[in-house]
Structure 1
Amino acid sequence: MTAIIKLKDNVFTKKNEFESINHLTKKILDKTLKQLEKEGVFVFPEEVSEAEDITKDQMILQRINDCYRTSNVLGFLGYGKERLVIESRFSTGKSDYFFQYLLECVLDFPNFLELHTDADQNSRMFNLLVFLFPYYLKSAMRKGLFKTYKNYQYNDGNLKGTIDIARHIIRNTPFTGNISYNQREFSFDNDLMQLIRHTIEFIKTKPYGNKLLRRAKDEISAIYEATTDYEYYDRRKIIIANRKKPIRHAFYHDYRELQRLCIMILQYEKQQIGSGVRQLHGILFDGAWLWEEYINSLIGQFFYHPRNKGKEGAQRLFAGNVGLIYPDFISRDNKNRTIADAKYKPINNIGNKDYLQVLAYMFRFDATNGYYFYPESGEIKNLELHLNSGSTYEKDVGARENIRLSKYGLLIPNNVADYDQFKTQMKESELSFKSHFDGL
């Protein structure tokens, strides 16, 4: 009998409620995301260590007194016959349509149905890994095809490498004018490219495979051209070769993550699904990152979007290249500059350090308006704050009408009949949200 527990992100839950998944809980409790990655869990995005809202030191399940607390992480974990599902706290209905919608909008994931059984949960974990493949493939191949040195054997009269004496004696006695030699050459047809090719062929066997792969058709065509020696029966050998020799060069970081994803896809069904194997597995997503990228898809025409993870659009607080900062959003209108921050938290949880951060950004860019964009699952209660002037010592504290900081929510539908209805209502919420910036 499989035990499944569903939790929300960023909530406290009593310890005794985890008794049915006791073994899984022990495997993940008080462990960082970095530790879980080493044990076989896939974490997205891969550069969590450089994101402000989530770090590799963050714990997915942390012990606090007699409770366990979840964090900003969404996704699925399994161990043996035990399953843990972490949903978005902004989905208050029976189904986590909001998480599904974020994946569809940000990562172009196909629609997937609500899943209830153990087999369904395993299929959902596996499908999420597969759906990530086009994203990682396109990201890696922005650097071009991966090439590495490969040893080739020749037997001709154009000596260019090291003579292979034993082979030369066997093949060229009596001497006919040819020389047997070995040469190291750069090649695109290497173990990593073969691994990617095997993953492509494996995904093609799935009902949604061809449709999914069309999202990276140019990259896939390049892989086919590079892997002319592909053989289906080499799959096990290729997986072993890639596990023994992971990509380590910093320039090919994206290929390292793609390599890891391919291995997990090709081995997942064999080792995990329905097998009850005592091995931790799963896939986790940074909810704050998904929310920020989703907001960018709505307001990108009005705002620049510096990216900490991708080292894009870096700004400095001070002259002399001092004080690296990455504001979430900087308005494209430089005459009436606006700074905005995407916050994956309820309106009442936005405060303290959040205020200081955005106010510092506003001061840096001479902005008089600042925004927090947050998801609202109840009733929209936008709040406009005016910066004070004066001090209590002189008893002259007063609001500045010209410097405003607003909390501006996007309504997340709930109590909907199905995912199609959720999407329809989300489109309405988006139109209302975007209309506020039409004048920018």
Structure 2
Amino acid sequence: MIRTITVRESYDWITENDVTAAQFEELIRYIEEKYPNEQVLDQKYKRIRFINYVGVIQCSDVRYEIIPKLTLSPVDDRKSLLGMLSITKFLPISFDKQLLKGEEKGDLLMAVIFTFVDRLLSQLRKGLYKTYERYEGNLYTLRGKIEFSKHIRKNAFQKTKAYCTFDEHTENNSLNQLFKCALLIVKNYMNTHALTLYVERCLGYLERVDIIQFSQSKLESISFNRQNERFRDTVLFAKLIVERATIYSKGRSASSFSFLFKMNMLFEKYIEVALREAFGNNEVVSQHAEKRLLRNKKSGNWNILLKPDFVVNNKVILDTKWKSATYKGRSRYVQSDIYQMYAYVTAYKDVERCILLYPKQEGEVEYPVWEVTDMEKTIEMCSVRIDAFWETVSELKKMLNS
């Protein structure tokens, strides 16, 4: 029986009261192996919490859902996360509304897997991707060409066989082997009859495909052409599963895998999509990198590159911050963020406003607006809803046009 533990990124702790010591150790080992250079966990004595990352981790018998804190309801936060992943294309597949069945049942992983398997099954029904693969073997019938050196070595006293090499048009290629590997990883964790049936149907199409272990180089060797381009999104998704899978053999064999996403990058990309929807592609410049803050008097070179997240209509700079902008009902900020905005507003002569943009996580809060000395410019703190895309677009329009 698989347990699901749902926690909010940066807020909720997992302790050894929630899981066994073995499950606690398995989770830490998995993070250390698959995310060795990332700060995924905030680890204290006998407790951990996830920071900077959201998504899902499937361990041997516990499923961890990490969702952003956007509303007071985990169900709404889960739905919002799926919407953000779909809108930003952080996953190589899009979530159609009718396929969010996992989300409706309160299961993030099942929503993601259902969409992948449904898309894959639809593609397999149109026909498997086949390639010409080189085979060799000691056969009773002549195929291709005889490998004389191997034939003489193996058949010196066997006159009825011929050792041949030949090309065969087959579905047993690396692309289909990748699909089968990914399906077998997720198969044991399906919790609905419909999803289990979809997985079994996909595996039925791949019955004649070999089961192999994928190395990173093997994954990278899979390429696309006119014949297999229609599989691109499902191939990329299957790669995500296989790349983040690991096998533990301490007492039993179990496969663990994950879909984790950096929340600050996801938030920034989501805001970019919303800004382009609100103001058009031509009015929004992301990661603007044409200004430098200081000029070196000795060399004459300009130094200290400035790179705001967004410049809108050459009048407003927005910098996204995935952190809470409130504490106990009052606004809070980090002084270094304000210094950064002051650098922007100084270097960008035409800019009138610099906005630190936070996710809205509580009710209405009065945020400060600072006037820049000797300039008719302002530095502001604002927050925006991200639980519904069109609400985000509407609030950004109102915010920037005010």
Q: Give the TM-score band, short-chain normalised.
A: 0.5 to 0.7
Residue 379 (structure 1) shift: 2.3
Q: Which residue of 2 aligns with 1:51?
A: none
Number of aligned residues: 325
Q: 1:430 to 1:379 in 2, by over 3 A?
A: farther
CA offsets, 1:53-85, max 9 Å, x none?
xxx4212x3223565332021122232322322
**Cα distance in 2, alignment partners of residues 32 and 387 from structure 1:** 48
**Cα distance in 1, alignment partners of residues 8 and 309 from structure 2:** 25
Map of 1:274-423 to 2, 5 A cutoff? Answer: 278-300=254-276, 301=280, 302-306=283-287, 314-315=289-290, 317=292, 323=304, 326-331=307-312, 333-334=313-314, 336=315, 338-348=316-326, 349-366=332-349, 367-381=351-365, 383-386=367-370, 399-400=373-374, 402-411=376-385, 423=388
**Cα distance in 2, alignment partners of residues 163 and 99 from structure 1:** 58
Q: 1:196 to 1:114 in 2, by over 3 A?
A: closer
Greater relative contact order (Cα < 8 A, sep 6+): 1
Map of 1:38-57 to 2, 5 A cutoff? Answer: 56-57=37-38
Is the CA contact 2:322–2:358 (under 8 Å) kept in the aligned structure 1? yes
Unmatched 5+ stretches in structure 1:
39-55, 136-147, 154-161, 170-180, 209-230, 307-312, 389-398, 414-422
Map of 1:424-435 to 2, 5 A cutoff? Answer: 427-428=390-391, 430-435=393-398
Q: 1:116 to 1:258 in 2, by over 3 A?
A: closer
CA offsets, 1:285-337, max 9 Å, x none?
2222222121112112242123xxxxxx6556378686555421122x33x3x
**Cα distance in 2, alignment partners of residues 126 and 98 from structure 1:** 16
**Cα distance in 1, alignment partners of residues 132 and 301 from structure 2:** 42
Is the CA contact 1:32–1:58 (under 8 Å) kept in the aligned structure 2? no
SS of aligned partner of 1:233: coil
For 1:435, the aligned partner's letter is K
SS of aligned partner of 1:69: strand
**Cα distance in 2, alignment partners of residues 4 and 328 from structure 1:** 36
Residue 125 (structure 1) shift: 1.9
Unmatched 5+ stretches in structure 2:
120-130, 137-144, 153-163, 187-192, 196-204, 225-232, 294-299, 327-331
2:80 to 90, 95, 98: 98
Residue 377 (structure 1) shift: 2.9
Is the CA contact 1:21–1:83 (under 8 Å) kept in the aligned structure 2? no
Q: Which residue of 1 aligns with 2:64?
A: 84
Q: Which residue of 2 aligns with 1:35?
A: 33
Q: Which residue of 1 aligns with 2:240?
A: 261
Q: 1:255 to 1:243 in 2, by over 3 A?
A: farther
Map of 1:124-163 to 2, 5 A cutoff? Answer: 124-129=108-113, 131=115
Q: 1:126 to 1:6 in 2, by over 3 A?
A: closer
CA RMSD of aligned residues (A): 5.2
CA offsets, 1:29-54, max 9 Å, x none?
3x69562358xxxxxxxxxxxxxxxx
2:49 to 63, 66, 69: 69
Map of 1:196-211 to 2, 5 A cutoff? Answer: none
Q: 1:258 to 1:379 in 2, by over 3 A?
A: closer
**Cα distance in 1, alignment partners of residues 307 and 177 from structure 2:** 36
Q: 1:373 to 1:405 in 2, by over 3 A?
A: same
Q: Which residue of 1 aligns with 2:212?
A: 240
For 2:257, the aligned partner's letter is H
Between stretches 402-411 and 254-263, larger displacement belongs to 254-263
Residue 8 (structure 1) shift: 1.0
Q: 1:58 to 1:3 in 2, by over 3 A?
A: same
Q: Which residue of 2 aligns with 1:214?
A: none
**Cα distance in 1, alignment partners of residues 85 and 49 from structure 2:** 24
What TM-score comes out, normalization by structure 1 length? 0.56
Residue 193 (structure 1) shift: 4.1
CA offsets, 1:227-280, max 9 Å, x none?
xxxx83342x2x51644842458x99x999666236479x99xx99xxx96333
Between stretches 88-97 and 291-300, larger displacement belongs to 88-97
